Structure 1
Amino acid sequence: MADEQDRRTKFWRLEYRLRGMMLGLALGDTVGAARGEPPANGPLRAGVSTQLACFTAEGVIRAMMRMAHKGICHPPSVVLHAYCRWAALQGIETERMRRRWASVTEAEWPDGWLAGVPVLAERRGSAPATVAALSRIGEGFEQTATRSRGCHALTRALPIAAIGSEGAALAGETAALTHGDPAARSATVKVTALLHHCMTDSLEETHLSDGAGQLVKGTLRRGIATLPTAGRGGVGDEDGHLMGVFQCAVDQPAEPGLLGRLAPDATAPSALYGGLYAAVSFPQRTDFAAALQFAAGAPDGDSVACVTGALLGAVHGVEALPVGLVSRHELSWVLDTLARDLLLELFESPSGGEYVAGWDPHWRSRYPGW
């Protein structure tokens, strides 16, 4: 009984942080796109990074589903299929996508519940390297990556942090599907490993007594220290640079000029460095909105604020997010559902497996395992 209670407590605390991370990245994407000044009333619009992150989370669930029922899976291919569903909904190379994927299934394609969300079919910004790579999809799985080091390789991969230590490697592989620059892959691996640490570090600690922001600083300092063994595909002295960015935020917090120098463009490394600097500059629970507003002032505020929101949401948990923003975001329910379902698939396997009966008869239609 005690072991079961411990397992449930761990599940709840991890869910609390994963929901915070998923909703945090979306709020950052939105506030960043608005240059720190989202509308005071009405719905808050999702950005393209948030759309792609939704399909990443769904792709990971479907990969785990396939492994459970087939015993064999190449997860990057399943995530690539998820991005193709996004592209088809967006009207990008729709016929090419249908020729590649619809012939594999007798069901309607794009399939799965996520394909029925209207907001995900609306254009919400550009993801040029992702679109260019997906536009090359042919009749089989092939290397389609461009030479880009753009930020979407990183921002769309953030949900992969939920799945454990192997998530960093998978994040790097999914980045490489579309972005061929080693720096994009390396930054994606690092941020995924760091986020996983944020969601699992000291799960027994309470979040309510952190008056000086030491929870954020301590968690991120420990997380950066683990990166040489947690991540792969490093470029140069990246781990040392991350610790340098961390120290800059401790010594010189919230300086717009310094943020601009650390995150000068719309690349994956800039998103990582700028997001880390902003998160450490505003470490208290009550600082979440101010952190996003500051991060939005970076040259590419969308990606920097996206990473800032993900880091702070992963450390503080969902309850730290401003209700006035979360309740107005048009994809809040979708993101919250994906976060919960991702952990359900990890811990509970609602559809069962090849030799084990499931308890949710609708799970396989929600998340077809291919």
Structure 2
Amino acid sequence: MADEMEQRRKLRGLESRLRGMMFGLALGDTVGTARGEPPSNGPLRAGVSTQLACFTVEGIIRAMVRMEHKGICHPPSVVLHAYCRWAALQGVEAERMRSRWASGTGAEWPDGWLAGVPVLAERRGSAPATVAALSRIDERHERTATRSRGCHALTRALPISAIGEEGAALASETAALTHGDAAARSATVRATALLHHCLTGSSEGAHRSVTADRSVRETLRTGIAALPPPGRDDERDHLMKVFRYAVEQPADTGLLVRLAPDATAPSALHGGLYAAVSFPGRADFRNALRFAAGAPDGDSVACVTGAVLGAVHGIEALPVDLVSRHELSWVLDTLARDLLLQILDSPSGSEYVEGWDPHWWSRYPGW
């Protein structure tokens, strides 16, 4: 009985942190786009990073469904298909997309429930490298990536952190679908690995009598130390330097600008880490996003900041007035819960085992 209660507690904690990560990402995107001053009432608008992150989650689930039922899958291609559905909804080469993915099938496309969300069809900012690469999609779709180091390679990939050790390879390959720069891929891999540690390595601290700032800082410190050995750029050492800056010189706007000077993936990671460590308290979430929004590219930096703090603290720590007003609130919550459900329980079953949810395949077709 005690073991069952402990298992249930851990599961609820993981669910809370996964939901917190998704909402933190989205709220950071929104507050950052508003330069730290979102409207005080009415719906909060989703940004383009949030839109793309939603399709990343859907792509991950659909790749898992395919693997369960077909026994073979190339997850980056399934995630690419997800981004193509986003592009088609946005009016980006819609006919070319339809020809590539639905030609001869007679099936309705884009498919899956996420394609029916009206907000995801609205233009909510620019993702130039992603759009440029997807605009070149054809039947082969190789070598579509640009040379970009842009931040969307990283911000849209943050949900990959939920799937474990294999997430590193998927994060790199997903970034490479549209962003050819090695630094963009490296930053994306390290961001998702660090965020995975926040999702899975923070549960013990959350249930001991430690302060919230120590919980955040200790989780991030150990997460950085656990990153794979650095490549040529010695990135792990640089992240530890950013961490020390935040502990010794927290919330310094000039330092934030130096650490995150532009709209690149490395800047989003460095600025997001600095802001999260500068404002580690559960009650500081709003202030952390407001500070992060002061970076030159505030939406990407605040996106990372929110995802990190949401993953460590859990959904309960996020401001209710912000969470409840976000226009994709139901979508974000559904995707987070469904991702965890697919990881743990495969509701559609498999090739040999009947699933317990007869509608799962139509919601997440395995292709």
TM-score range, shorter chain: over 0.9
State the 1:205 CA deviation.
Answer: 3.4
The corresponding residue for 2:132 is 132
1:114 matched to 2:99: no
Please give the alpha-carbon distance, in whole angstroms, between the structure 1 residues aligned to 2:330 and 2:210.
Answer: 28
Given candidates 296, 316, 321, the residue that maps to 1:319 is: 316
Q: Would the aligned equivalents of 2:206 and 2:313 in 1 still touch at CA under 8 Å?
A: no
RMSD of aligned residue pairs (Cα, Å): 1.4
Distance 2:288 2:159 in 1: 21
**Which of the numbers 265, 269, 293 marks the counterpart of 2:266?**
269
Deviations 1:45-97 (A, max 9, x none): 00000000000000000000000000000000000000000000000000100
Does 2:366 correspond to 1:353?
Answer: no
- Report the more deviating stretch, 258-267 or 205-214: 205-214
SS of the residue corresponding to residue 140 of structure 1 reads coil
Distance in 2, matches of 1:104 and 1:270, equals: 43
CA separation in 1, counterparts of 2:307 and 2:104? 35
Instruction: Look up the match of 1:242.
Output: 239
1:81 matched residue in structure 2:
81
Deviations 1:218-270 (A, max 9, x none): 000000000025xx8x4411000000000000000000000000000000000
Task: Check whether the contact 2:212–2:282 (CA below 8 A) recurs between aligned residues.
Answer: no
Displacement after TM superposition at 1:107 (Å) = 2.4
- Shift, 1:141, TM fit: 3.5
Q: Which amino acid aligns with 2:267?
A: S
SS at match of 2:160: helix
Name the CA distance, whole Å, in 2 between partners of 1:104 and 1:58. Answer: 24
- Cα deviation digits, residues 185-209 of structure 1 (max 9, x gap): 0000000000000010142333685
Q: Determine if contact 1:150/1:184 at 8 Å carries over to the other structure.
A: yes
Q: Which residue of 2 aligns with 1:285?
A: 282
Cα deviation digits, residues 266-289 of structure 1 (max 9, x gap): 000000000000000000000000
Change (3 A) 1:85 1:235: farther
Residue of structure 2 equivalent to 1:332: 329
Q: Return the alpha-carbon distance in structure 2 between the equivalents of residues 29 and 105 of structure 1.
A: 37
Flag structure 1 segments of 5+ consecutive residues without an equivalent.
none
Q: Report if the CA contact (8 A) 1:210-1:284 is conserved.
A: no
User: For each residue in 1:10-46, what CA deviation from the matched residue of structure 2 results, as whole angstroms up to 9, or x when unmatched?
Assistant: 3221111000000000000000000000000100000
The answer to whether structure 1 residue 220 and structure 2 residue 220 are counterparts is yes
Cα deviation, residue 106, structure 1: 3.5
2:31·2:302 contact (CA, 8 Å) conserved in 1? Answer: yes
Aligned counterpart, 2:362: 365
Structure 1 336/208 Cα, relative in aligned 2: closer, same or farther at 3 Å?
Answer: farther
Q: TM-score, normalised by structure 2?
A: 0.97
1:59 is matched with 59
Letter in structure 2 aligned against 1:287: D
CA distance in 1, matches of 2:170, 2:254: 34
How far is 1:3 from its partner? 5.4
Q: 1:205 to 1:42 in 2, by over 3 A?
A: same
Displacement, 1:169?
1.4
**Which amino acid counterpart does residue 65 of structure 1 have in structure 2?**
V
Partner of 1:186: 186
Q: Against the structure 1 CA distance between its residues 208 and 299, is the aligned structure 2 distance closer, same or farther, given a 3 Å change threshold?
A: farther
AA aligned to 1:309 is G
SS of structure 2 residue aligned to 1:213: helix
CA distance in 1, matches of 2:59, 2:317: 27
| TM-fit CA distance, 1:104 | 6.0
Count of residues paired in the alignment: 367
Tell me the CA shift for residue 179 of structure 1.
0.2
Relative to structure 1, is the Cα distance of residues 104 and 154 closer, same or farther in structure 2, using a 3 angstrom cutoff?
farther
Q: Which amino acid aligns with 1:244?
A: K
Identity %: 80
**Equivalent-residue separation in structure 1 for 2:69 and 2:212 (angstroms):** 47
Q: Give the superposition deviation at 1:103.
A: 1.9
1:295 aligns with 292
Kept after mapping to 2: 8 A contact 1:19/1:317: yes
- The AA in structure 2 aligned to 1:176 is A
Q: Evaluate the alpha carbon distance shift between residue 209 and residue 133 of structure 1 in structure 2; reply closer, same or farther with a 3 A threshold.
A: same
1:9 CA displacement: 3.0
TM-score, structure 1 length as denominator?
0.97
**Contact 1:67/1:73 (CA < 8 Å) preserved in 2?**
yes
**In the alignment, residue 338 of structure 1 is paired with which amino acid?**
L
Unaligned runs of 5+ in 2: none
Is the deviation greater in 8-17 or in 68-77? 8-17
Give 1:304's match in structure 2, choosing from 301, 309, 312: 301
Matches of 1:342 and 1:204 in 2, distance apart?
A: 22
Once residues 255 and 343 of structure 1 are traced to their aligned partners in structure 2, the CA distance between those partners, rounded to angstroms, is: 37
Question: Structure 1: how far apart are the matches of 2:240 and 2:71?
Answer: 40
